[in-house]
Amino acid sequence: MSHDLLPGVTGVLALADGTIIQGLGAGAEGDAVGEVCFNTAMSGYQEILTDPSYMAQIVAFTFPHIGNVGTNSDDVEQVSGAAETAARGAIFRDVPTDPANWRANSDLDGWLKRRGVIALAGIDTRALTKAIREKGMPHGVIAHSPKGEFDLEALVAKARAWSGLEGLDLAKDATCLQPFEWDEGLYSWPDGYAWMNGEDARYNVVVVDYGVKRNILRALASIGARISVVPADTTAEDILAREPDGVLLSNGPGDPAATGKYAVPEIRRLVASGTPVFGICLGHQMLALALGARTVKMEQGHHGANHPVKDLTTGKVEIVSMNHGFTVDRDSLPANVEETHVSLFDGTNAGLAVKDAPVFSVQHHPEASPGPTDSLYLFQRFAALMDGRK
């Protein structure tokens, strides 16, 4: 293998097929291995890079201007786990600029350094995106060396040796270590995030944390929920002992079949209890597994805040936020489960509901962050199911 580094190169992306993409390093120094995906959102890079669903992934941003608004303490989506339980790398077309936003309290480069996230800038992200669309999400190693010193053969070998996301239970690392309560609601100008008084709550909701985002919890709190967040391996018996009006199965990283080895039996018990259940993203996939369906790995996945999804129960088309590399095989849905949402990009399943139980789920992120709020009504749909149970 022979690659000549161009003058001034301080960052590279080494792919398992031997491709070397050269550019300018940013963020932390060193190297990190992961699955390379692209995200088409035009805003919200901080929320994307702190979403635990991106654990073990390197995110290439198709929008060219990343870093312009800096970073701040409010836009972190991660609730549990260390920085390593979110995106491991970031790829930009342009070198991040100094921030120009009143909310910023740090520039992007310094923030990435503190989180240990390696970045690569100054590359043709259109070409990389096209390659992913045509060949699927590759295994890669992103590396940053201010001195421009890289062992390219070793980096390619590391990319080839990585096992990939299939078969990986990453939720065990992204989840909380012990139960906790949540009482912060959605953001509103100019007051900021609302504090919800648990004594006035209408619902008692348990959230099973597979890598939950803050804004899922905020959206739940804003419908009047008193929220208890519990670790991914919590038993149905312990969850039901909290006497919940409803249970939410959160988003998270990794292969749903791998996490499902311990989560699916508990989800089945929750469904059998008659308690309203709402699944989001990974929670949607594992609910499908619990109901008897299958999940499969996607070639390029869905990552962005501009995905059209149709709600088949209302006929409404929504623009939603998505972030997943696995999907539910719609042909495997059992007779008592109906498909409620479908992606208008590729026709894949985006939602389901049990016909004879207060149980439903969606593949997309109704809380967005980043993204439109077209699907926030799903939290009200969950509230209606809890009202019906009461």
Q: Which helix (H) or strand (E) holds 139?
A: strand 139-144
Q: Which residues are tagged catalytic? A: 281, 365, 367
Could you identify the residue written with the tokens 């926030």? 376
CA dihedral 113, 115, 117, 121 (to 10 degrees): -50
Domain residue limits, the chain:
11-161, 171-389
Instruction: Decide: residue 191, CB within 10 A, 0-12 exposed, 13-18 middle, 19+ buried.
Output: exposed
CATH topology of 11-161 equal to that of 171-389?
A: no
**Cα–Cα distance, 13 to 159 (Å, whole number):** 10
Concatenate the DSSP letters of all residues of 291-333 into one string. Answer: HT--EEEEEEEEEEEEEEEEETTTTEEEEEEEEEEEEE-GGG-
What was the pLDDT predicted at 187?
81
Residues 66 and 94 sit within 8 Å (Cβ to Cβ): yes
pLDDT of 1: 45
Q: Both tokens of residue 297?
A: 């790995």
How far is residue 54's CA from residue 301's CA, in Å, rounded to a whole number?
A: 12
Weakly modelled stretches of the chain, pLDDT under 70: 1-3
- pLDDT, tens only, 136-175: 999 999 999 999 999 999 999 999 999 999 999 999 999 9
Supply φ then ψ for residue 341, to 5 degrees: -135, 150
- Portion of the chain with pLDDT greater than 70, in percent: 99
**Cα angle value 352/77/190 (rounded, 5°):** 105
Q: What per-residue confidence (pLDDT) applies to 3?
A: 67
Q: What pLDDT score was predicted for residue 82?
A: 76
Contact, 279 vs 287, CB < 8 A? Answer: yes
In this structure, which CATH number among 3.90.1580.10, 3.40.50.800, 3.40.720.10, 3.50.30.20 belongs to the domain 11-161? Answer: 3.50.30.20
6 class by beta-carbon count within 10 Å (0-12 exposed, 13-18 middle, 19+ buried): exposed
Its sign, for the CA torsion 312, 317, 318, 321, is positive
- What is the rounded (10 degree) CA torsion for 334, 339, 344, 347? 10
Q: What distance in Å separates the CA atoms of residue 142 and residue 279, rounded to the nearest whole number?
A: 33
Residues in the chain: 390
Query: CATH for 171-389?
Result: 3.40.50.880
Contact predicate 75/99, CB 8 Å: no
Residue with tokens 């259940």: 277
pLDDT value of position 213 = 97
**Tens of pLDDT, residues 90-140:** 999 999 999 999 999 999 999 999 999 999 999 999 999 999 999 999 999
